[in-house]
Amino acid sequence: MTGDFFAPQGKIKIIKGRCISLIGDDIDTDRIIPARFLKCVTFDSLGSAVFEDDRKDLKGKHPFDLTINKNSSILIVNSNFGCGSSREHAPQALLRWGIRAIIGESFAEIFYSNCVAIGIPCFTMDKISINTIQEKSEKGLIFDIDISKAEARTSESKFKLEIKSSSRNMFLSGEWDATSTLLNNSSLIEEKIKQLPYVQLNEDFSK
């Protein structure tokens, strides 16, 4: 876990952070957060349990345990990341560990959607570029990700990213954040309530 947890809110345009590389295809949600942790009432404690079984097997040598990756926030993965069951606990655990963006070759569709819903942009790149970034991340690589331009920048180079236009627009406008969108449009909600005949009917019966 990388310190205090702050949930993303509103518009997300730039993400800056250190990269952490996780090598391997078809890393499923059960590996990201084992099934025994799904009994939790809230997601708050999931950050420390992310990749719990893999980390135990590697005895401190898992990327999420290495000192160089402390406070990393941009996860670099390979193909079909987040496959398996549709558990929303997987992106929630990554978010609470400190991950703010994921770059990979490809993602399982439901995992991708669950990430968008909590403010984690997922970008894709070709295999060669991913391998290059994964090699560089082992020495400490910091990215500035510009969502509007769909590119990741270092002090020396730029990498072109791919992101669904619908997802990019949601992050730039803040529409991914359903709670904030509702709060910012409370007056429209109140107006709509006044137009609903069954609400008026209930009010009449309460008198």
- Domain ranges for the chain: 14-176, 177-207
Span 191-203, average pLDDT? 66
Question: The domain 14-176 belongs to what CATH superfamily?
Answer: Aconitase, domain 4 (3.20.19.10)
**Average pLDDT along the chain:** 89
Report which residue type is found at 161. L
Q: Is residue 58 over pLDDT 60?
A: yes
User: Under a CB-based contact definition with an 8 Å cutoff, are residues 130 and 103 in contact?
Assistant: yes
pTM of the model: 0.85
Q: What is the pLDDT of residues 102-146, one digit of tens each?
A: 999 999 999 999 999 999 999 999 999 999 999 998 888 999 999
Q: Is residue 3 over pLDDT 70?
A: no
Cα–Cα distance for residue pair 2/103, rounded to 1 Å? 19
Cα–Cα distance for residue pair 1/43, rounded to 1 Å? 13
DSSP state of 193: H
The phi-psi region of residue 26 (left if phi > 0; otherwise alpha if psi is between -120 and 50; otherwise beta) is left
pLDDT attached to residue 1: 46
Q: How confident is the model at residue 2 (pLDDT cuts 50, 70, 90)?
A: very low
Question: Which helix (DSSP H) or strand (DSSP E) does residue 142 occupy?
Answer: strand 142-146
Q: Is residue 75 over pLDDT 70?
A: yes
